[in-house]
Structure 1
Amino acid sequence: MFAPRRLKIGLSACFQHADPSRSLFTNKTLQYVEQSIAHWIMSAGAMVVMVPCPTGDTARGDVTLDHYAEWLDGVVMHGGADVWPGNYGEEPLRQEWLGDRVRDLYDLAVVKAFAQARKPIFGVCRGLQLINVAFGGALYQDLQEQHPGAQLHRNASTYDQHFHDIELVPGTRLAQLYPDKPSARVNSIHHQGIKRVAPDFVVEAFSLPDRVPEAIRLSPGPGRGYIAATQWHPEFHQAGSQTLDDTAILNDFLTACVAAQPGTFGGVHTPLHLRDRASRLLRKAIKSKK
């Protein structure tokens, strides 16, 4: 355990939107967490709290994401659906790459709230892509179609048993966590990827041999908190397997959460310019689903 009290770590919600054809919870919006990522965070003794979207047609009360960011010690951004290309200034090339605009706006608002509260943020898969977009980066809508020479990064049949190698960038924090591993093997469950890295972020790992960014981190600086992400799912690592051990990554994030507890920062907010339309547009986007 990382502190005299157990850490409270937020986990962003996944969405299943209202569906009149669904036999269970008919026409109700579901927000949920995937079991293995919750258990991954809990494996180090931290408690996990899902951060529900506070808006929607059933919304009541005055609880906001800012309240969650103030109360919790950090947040992990889930994997899941594609990021809508409009969030980085592009038109979708295919209908199936539209992503989930409602979830995008919710996730952008979560990142904004925790960044402004100076609470650590860690992203997994979609979480990495969303963080990159939130801070001004862009994505390949499909690596196979848009990235020359890209290897297969997602296999629907093998799913989390599809792997490739990565190169850790020397001198980065991730490389320091694995000093004896200039390269490693990781799972690969994505078809989108980083095309342009967000300003003030550094790439900490590339896929081999096609060099797609596989890990990013916010560069240290005045007024900046801990923000890091991996394109692979560290929570899917199995003890004894040949994939990169997730322990150092989780411990690094939770150590940052301890350091970010009240009193450490003196209330200073991040100067980074997040895309600030999320709170206003989230309610509008959810209403448009009705």
Structure 2
Amino acid sequence: MGKLIGITADVYLGATDVINQKLMDFVPRPIVDGVLMAGGIPVGLPILPVDKVNQLIERMDGIIFSGGPDIDPSFMGEEPIPKLGVTNRNRDRFEIAMIRTAVAKKIPIFGICRGAQMIDVALGGTIYQDLGTQYSGKLIKHKQQAPGDQPTHFVRVDYNSKLYKTIGDNVFVNSRHHQAIKEVPDFFKVVATASDGVIEAIENDDASIQAVQWHPENLWRHDSQELALFSDFISRIGNPNRMESGSI
């Protein structure tokens, strides 16, 4: 059986046309397809009560934290600034519990865009609530207007990183964010930056925790380096045999 890869769901905050459903959980299809192409079995993870996290996470071999809305700054002990966008505190609380539990149980995790920021915040780091307001340097454009499957800026990758072994250096990526990682805990290494110094990727020593600021799920179909991010994440996962076939 392939490795079960949980993918955190985003939430559609309006009412859908499907039976007027509200607060619909949805998992980005490009991540699902990327996990499948990389040999994993994707499993959508809707927002659940925090007391269910242990039961849920025991069944996963690895977890991908997907993109989505802004992060509630109260989780960093901050008040919201005027340029803060839409937040979903319920999703933040659930994902923080998932991240901390996964790390405690040594379950590998991978973050994409908001997912990178969420991993950083959950483990003691901070983010910029809004780059344009709070970043002290001169910025390149991080919220592209080009189609999402087209790259728009380059990132430099640390030679002494697992990320470098996966995708190399001077990688051309897409960019859809106005928040970004600011400070990282001591056990993280910043392994990629944009030309303006904005953090684009982090990982720990064994890359069991790795996260990127861009969206590889929108690039992998025409860029083998981006597919390798999914493949290498899955290859780093052991085979703990947490459950027998048919238990889900």
Please give the range of the TM-score, normalised by the shorter of the 2 chains: 0.7 to 0.9
Of 128, 142, 145, the match for 2:133 = 145
Answer whether contact 1:137 1:199 (CA < 8 A) is retained: no
Q: CA deviation at 1:145?
A: 2.0
Q: In structure 2, the residue corresponding to 1:161 is in which secondary structure?
A: coil
| 2:150/2:219 contact within 8 Å kept | no
1:59-74 equivalences in 2 (<5 Å): 64-74=52-62
- Choose which of 236, 240, 247 in structure 2 pairs with 1:261: 240
SS for the counterpart of 1:50 is: strand
- What is the distance in 2 between the residues matched to 1:164 and 1:74? 29
Q: Tell me, what secondary structure is at the counterpart of 1:94?
A: coil
Alpha-carbon shift at residue 11 of structure 1 (Å): 0.7
Q: CA deviation at 1:24?
A: 3.7
Q: How does 1:1-290 map to 2 (within 5 A)?
A: 5-17=1-13, 19=14, 23-26=17-20, 28-55=22-49, 64-94=52-82, 96-147=84-135, 148-156=137-145, 158-161=147-150, 163-178=152-167, 181-208=168-195, 210-220=196-206, 226-240=208-222, 245-257=225-237, 259=238, 261-262=240-241
Residue 280 of structure 1 aligns with which residue? none
CA distance in 2, matches of 1:28, 1:139: 30
Which whole-Å deviations, capped at 9, do the CAs of 1:70-122 have from their partners, x for residues lacking one?
11111100111111111112211126435211111111122123222211100
Unaligned runs of 5+ in 1: 57-62, 264-290
Equivalent residues of 1:239, 1:245 under 8 A apart = no
TM-score with structure 1 setting the length: 0.76
For 2:36, the aligned partner's letter is: M
Alpha-carbon distance in structure 1 between the residues aligned to 2:189 and 2:83:
31
In structure 2, the partner of 1:287 is none
**What is aligned with 2:245?**
none
Alpha-carbon separation, structure 2, partners of 1:96 and 1:212: 18
Q: Distance in 2 between matches of 1:193 and 1:187?
A: 14
Aligned partners of 1:112 and 1:202: how far apart in 2?
A: 18
- In the alignment, residue 137 of structure 1 is paired with which amino acid? G
Q: CA deviation at 1:156?
A: 4.3
1:64 aligned counterpart, secondary structure: helix
Q: Name which one, 1 or 2, has greater alpha-carbon Rg.
A: 1
Q: Mark the runs of 5 or more structure 2 residues left unpaired by the alignment.
A: 243-248
Q: CA RMSD in A?
A: 2.3
C-alpha distance 25-84 of structure 1, shift in aligned 2 (>3 A)? farther
How far 1:146 sits from its partner (Å)?
1.7
2:221–2:227 contact (8 Å) kept in structure 1: no
Instruction: Please say if residues 64 and 111 of structure 2, whose CA atoms lie closer than 8 Å, have aligned partners that are also in contact.
Output: yes
Q: Deviations over 1:155-203 (max 9, x none)?
A: 346444351110011211112224xx33111111111111111231001
Query: What SS does the aligned partner of 2:236 have?
Result: helix
Structure 1 position 141, deviation (Å): 1.2
TM-score (norm 2): 0.88
Q: CA 1:85/1:68 → structure 2, altered by over 3 Å: closer, same or farther?
A: same
User: CA offsets per residue over residues 138-157 of structure 1, 9 Å max, x none?
Assistant: 11111122212011100346
Q: Is the 2:70–2:84 contact (alpha carbons within 8 Å) kept by the matching residues of 1?
A: no
Distance 2:239 2:12 in 1: 32
8 Å contact kept, 2:47–2:90: no
Residue pair 1:144, 1:151 contacting (<8 A) in 2 also: no
Change (3 A) 1:206 1:38: same
